[in-house]
Amino acid sequence: MKLTILFLFLCISYTGVLSAQVHDKLFVPYNPITTAWLKQHIRKSSPKLILTKSIEKKLKSKLKNDELTKSYFQYLKKNADEVLDLPPLERNQVGRRLLGVSREALRRIGALAMVNRMQPDQKYADRLEEEINAVCGFSDWNPSHFLDVGEMALAVSLGIDWGAGYISDNVVKTAKKALMDKALKVSFEEGNMGWVNARMNWNQVCHGGISAAAIMLADVDPALSAKAISRAVDKLPLALTAYAPDGAYPEGPSYWDYGTSYSLLGLSMYESAFGTDFKLPQAPGFMESADYRLIVIGPTGAYFNYSDAGDNTKMGLGTRGNLAWFAQKTGDALYLDKDAFINQTKEEIQEKGKITRLGGIVLVWLSQFEEEKQGTLPLEYKAGGHNPIAIIRSENDNKAAFYLAIKGGAGIVNHGNMDVGSFIFELDGVRWSIDPGNQSYNELEQIIGSKNLWDRTQNSQRWSLVTKNNYCHSTLTVDDKLHVVDGFAEFTEFSTEKNEKTAVLDLSPVFKGQLNSVSRKFVKKDDHTLLIEDELELEESTEFVIWAMMTQAEVTTKPGGAILTQDRKTLNLEIVMPGELQVSVVALDPPPLYYDKKIDGLKRIEIRIPAYVFENNKGKISVELKGN
């Protein structure tokens, strides 16, 4: 109950602060759902969750003659075969989460059910029954952390829908009772509903999972099922405001993968079960978010890992799977690189790695793709919203290309960090300026407590972490103080017309009480040179300003700058102004706190500028980064 209250508080505080700045206009979907409407429009027979008989027919045809569909099915089958050798799942809760078990249930049940449906074999059907019975026998699905319920509800729902005709009536009866008692009814109980009005991934995941349960229980309690689905259609737009206006997901690319995947499967379920998506994809920025997810990937293959984004060196099959939905909806091959998908799938088959838990769903989306066009990504991109970002690059298909990604927004956003004004910079195939990314939640919750980790107020212990505070991001710091957590930075200029591409952030709200004003300007001078200019007006009390850049490169200081070396490439850092300043290097490996994330070779390049350097408390910090 305490965790639910904390969750509600954080969602309300986050929404309240940013809605005043971003001016969300809630998208209104088409929602005709009543008990009578549900009875009239729901597909009467299985399969009806994402898969239908007509889709299944096309899928089976593609399995005969489409290399992409065939290779992905072999990947799915490999995982289903591996499940056969594993013991059934047990209710093993880690900290406050059963989420790992729910996700593994979805992976196992989804793979077994889809493989058996495409190539019926009693061994898959028997094991599918065993897995469904195991999780339905749990005492509960951990409603205090409702993501666990959402993912488990989807798993069991897919199991009995795709398993229809292959599993026994008794198993279906057991599953429906569990879906009713452990998911659908529980979703309306006081204390378990913090996710209902959330404006982030919990909304998408939980409404998606409960919708699946409601569809499968429409023959048991049509009134309650209609109530749940109507609620989902009404409330999903709260989460979809995250994509407005341009598609950039405020929680970062990792959580785009998570939240968006559940929106996509929800839309697919509504279409397959009712013949309509309730116009939900028309929410501002939603369809454009596929471009966002591609644009945040740098030439090195790693993405712009702001907010709670995990470390990443290549696009995962999970991300490719999500993009497959956009591909089959638009016919645009930009979102479905067949050759890369096939090659990556074959690589994964050779390894003993787990398939995405939505593997069976992805197979359906892949089979529906028919190429109609080939889009391209822009070289310059700016997105507003809750967490504005901008990206400037020199080429799309060159691993050595210039790539700059800039972070605006505020620290108070869900999964947010004090990273406003920070930047990622790649050149010559090296990521020179890095973001520390995220860190395992379970371990941190055990050490500092859930409340401390998820509290995003100004003086929270959250900001002591390397991955969370401004001291360990490539941005400015004043007098060793934290950023103002609810200070919101927007782009005031984004020029792509000139030879010199320019992006300007107003950071003044982030330094309220520390600086009178500060503007951070990024200039792509040419394909090898980045200039960063910070124009400041100090407070009378300001003592010093620190310019910082996080890197894993080797750093050799020199008068007025430094030389960075990594992978036999070099980058020159020059302090253009103020003059007569020196670079310092602060080692962060090992990190400051024993429970901080350890990043090999992490260091902060630091330029400390005393206030007296600025004449009349006004001045400019100008730093140039230049490759060979």
What six digits make up the tokens of 55?
């889709």
Instruction: State the average pLDDT for the chain.
Output: 94
Distance CA 511, CA 489 (A): 10
For residue 13, pLDDT beyond 70: no
In the chain, which residues fall in CATH 2.70.98.70?
380-627
User: What are the tens digits of pLDDT across the range 143-197?
Assistant: 999 999 999 999 999 999 999 999 999 999 999 999 999 999 999 999 889 999 9
Which pLDDT score, from 0 to 100, does residue 423 have? 98
The candidate with the shortest Cα–Cα distance to 3, out of 141, 96, 99, 92, is 96
In CATH terms, is domain 2-8+34-367 a member of 1.50.10.100?
yes
The candidate with the shortest Cα–Cα distance to 528, out of 372, 621, 395, 619, is 395
Mean pLDDT along residues 569-596: 97
Q: For residue 519, report the phi and psi dihedrals to the nearest 5 degrees.
A: -125, 130
C-beta of residue 592 within 8 angstroms of C-beta of residue 466: yes
User: What are the tens digits of pLDDT across the range 367-388?
Assistant: 999 999 999 999 999 999 999 9
Distance CA 12, CA 243 (A): 18
Q: How confident is the model at residue 10 (pLDDT cuts 50, 70, 90)?
A: very low
Distance CA 554, CA 564 (A): 6
What six digits make up the tokens of 251?
């929680």
Matching residue, tokens 């509800």: 153
Mean pLDDT along residues 519-537: 97
CA dist 401 to 296, 301, 526, Å? Answer: 14, 12, 11
Which pLDDT score, from 0 to 100, does residue 311 have? 80
Phi-psi region of 523 (alpha: psi -120 to 50; beta: other; left: phi over 0): beta
Partners of 55 in the beta sheet?
none
Distance CA 62, CA 77 (A): 16
Mean pLDDT along residues 271-298: 97
45: three-class secondary structure by DSSP: coil
**Half-sphere exposure at residue 14, Cβ-oriented, CA atoms within 13 angstroms:** 29
If one compares 25 and 238, the residue with the highest pLDDT of the two is 238
Distance CA 525, CA 501 (A): 7
CA dist 578 to 68, 563, 626, Å? Answer: 56, 19, 18
Q: Average the pLDDT over each of 11-25, 251-265, 333-347, 613-627 and give the range with the smallest value.
A: 11-25
For residue 5, pLDDT beyond 60: no
Matching residue, tokens 């469904």: 132
Show the DSSP H helices in 23-66 as ranges. 35-41, 53-65
Mean pLDDT along residues 515-527: 97
In the chain, which residues fall in CATH 1.50.10.100?
2-8+34-367
Q: How confident is the model at residue 353 (pLDDT cuts 50, 70, 90)?
A: low
Domain 380-627: which CATH class?
A: mainly beta
What six digits make up the tokens of 62?
């593609």
Q: Answer positive or negative: Cα dihedral of 137, 138, 143, 146.
A: negative
Which pLDDT score, from 0 to 100, does residue 499 have? 79
Distance CA 477, CA 495 (A): 26
Matching residue, tokens 């890992």: 305
For residue 596, pLDDT beyond 80: yes
The candidate with the shortest Cα–Cα distance to 336, out of 368, 303, 297, 296, is 368
The candidate with the shortest Cα–Cα distance to 517, out of 539, 533, 547, is 539
What six digits make up the tokens of 230?
């109507």
If one compares 602 and 29, the residue with the highest pLDDT of the two is 602
For residue 15, pLDDT beyond 60: no
Q: How confident is the model at residue 18 (pLDDT cuts 50, 70, 90)?
A: very low
The candidate with the shortest Cα–Cα distance to 146, out of 204, 104, 91, 217, is 204
**DSSP run (H or E) holding 174:** helix 169-179
DSSP codes of every residue in 365-431: HHHT----B-----SEEEE-SSS-EEEEES-SS-TT--EEEEE-B-TTSTT--S-TT-EEEEETTEE
Q: How confident is the model at residue 347 (pLDDT cuts 50, 70, 90)?
A: confident
Q: How confident is the model at residue 312 (pLDDT cuts 50, 70, 90)?
A: confident
